[in-house]
Amino acid sequence: MAKINGIEGQSLEQVVAQVDAGARFVVFEYVISVLVLTFRRRTDVFFVPAGRRAKDLSSMANTITFLFGFWGFPLGPFRSFGALARNAQGGHDVTAEVMADLGAAPRRASLDDFLDRCLVPLSSWKNDPADNERVAEIARLSGVGAEDLEVLLDQVDVFAIECAVRQWLGASAFAKEGLILFATALEREFDFRLADYNRFEAAVRAAAKPADETWRDLPLDELAMAVATSAFRTANHPGVDPRGLEAVAERFLDHLVDMEPALLGFSPE
């Protein structure tokens, strides 16, 4: 378990009582770049008492990003702005994971909780200024128009959520029921075109050839490239510049990682 800052000298009962009162555990992101290589990392865990702003604890992570994150090409600026934006929003909540590691396992979340944890990241990604800049860069690299690219990336984002659910929760009945609820909400509330998405997902499945429904057997870099290639092909944009494919693949992987904290309150199969 990662080092936890802020609970020194407290008993488990005291920590549990504070969490019940609104305290939480968070981690922050920082970025380090070396020439063409850019790495996104997470800090140790910080305990945030009820009433305190989590972002107030992110100064060290932000300083590292400012000093070392922006200099990588081409992903340094995108990942750096993304890390700073997430830290400004309070970092990643890992309370469920930490409490489980400490021996106070979280209660199993409901399907309504599951749906919220799938829908919130979609909204967060769309409203992230760093992600908007990243999308503009993908448009430049790929040559795909803004309208087509928005639809294409929406499908990639939804697949990142679905893939994270399958990898974390496996082929459990809860996962299947939750994904059906998620798809229904997308179609009814957000006019998401499920027929087009199903064609895209079938293309990814044909390209990646997963061994089972969990997709766990696939190397992530190969899966990401299959996702990017399938997204452009099913949107009638074959032959995209490899840099555009790589940018979409990288974005998919980042969003796949973003989903992990959201799913920590659920029991894997």
What pLDDT does 224 receive?
A: 94
- For 171-230, write each residue's pLDDT tens digit: 888 888 899 999 999 998 888 999 999 999 999 999 999 998 888 888 988 999 999 999
Q: What angle do CA 40, 43, 44 make, to 5 degrees?
A: 150
Residue 71 CB-density burial (10 A; 0-12 exposed, 13-18 middle, 19+ buried): middle
Quote the distance between the C-alpha of residue 10 and its chain's center: 32
Same domain, residue pair 162 and 220? yes
Same domain, residue pair 73 and 26? yes
Give the domain-ending residue among 75, 91, 106.
106
Entry field: residues in the chain? 269
Same domain, residue pair 37 and 96? yes
What pLDDT does 70 receive?
A: 92
Same domain, residue pair 54 and 159? no
- DSSP structure string for 16-79: HHHHHTT-EEEE-EEEEEETTEEEEEE--EEEE-TTS-GGGG-HHHHHHHHHHTTTSTTTHHHH
Same domain, residue pair 67 and 155? no
Give the domain-ending residue among 106, 132, 149.
106
Same domain, residue pair 211 and 88? no
Pairing of strands 92-93, 24-27: antiparallel
Q: Which of 57, 59, 139, 54 is nearest to 93 (CA)?
A: 54
Contact between 144 and 240 (Cβ < 8 Å): yes
Q: What is the tally of structural domains in the chain?
A: 2
Domain ranges, residue 72: 1-106
Grouping H, G, I as helix, E, B as strand and the rest as coil, residue 9 is coil
Tens digits of pLDDT across the chain (269 residues) = 568 999 988 888 888 888 877 788 999 999 999 888 888 899 999 999 887 888 889 999 999 999 999 988 888 898 899 889 888 888 888 887 888 888 765 444 578 778 888 888 888 888 888 888 888 899 999 999 888 898 999 999 999 999 999 988 888 888 888 999 999 999 988 889 999 999 999 999 999 999 988 888 889 889 999 999 999 999 999 889 999 999 999 999 999 888 877 776 665 55
Same domain, residue pair 177 and 230? yes
Backbone angles phi, psi at 39, to 5 degrees: -120, 130
Same domain, residue pair 98 and 219? no
Same domain, residue pair 172 and 194? yes
Cβ neighbours for 251, distance < 8 A, ≥ 6 positions apart: 131, 134, 138, 153, 156
Q: Is the dihedral of CA 85, 89, 94, 96 positive or negative?
A: negative
pTM above 0.85, yes or no: no
What pLDDT does 131 receive?
A: 81
Contact between 53 and 87 (Cβ < 8 Å): no
Backbone angles phi, psi at 206, to 5 degrees: -65, -35
Cβ neighbours for 14, distance < 8 A, ≥ 6 positions apart: none
Same domain, residue pair 147 and 25? no
Q: Is the bond leading into 74 cis (omega within 30 degrees of zero)?
A: yes
Same domain, residue pair 190 and 247? yes
Q: Which of 265, 45, 252, 27 is nearest to 168 (CA)?
A: 265
Q: Which of 129, 170, 189, 173 is nearest to 269 (CA)?
A: 170
Give the domain-ending residue among 50, 76, 106.
106
Grouping H, G, I as helix, E, B as strand and the rest as coil, residue 129 is helix
Same domain, residue pair 97 and 124? no
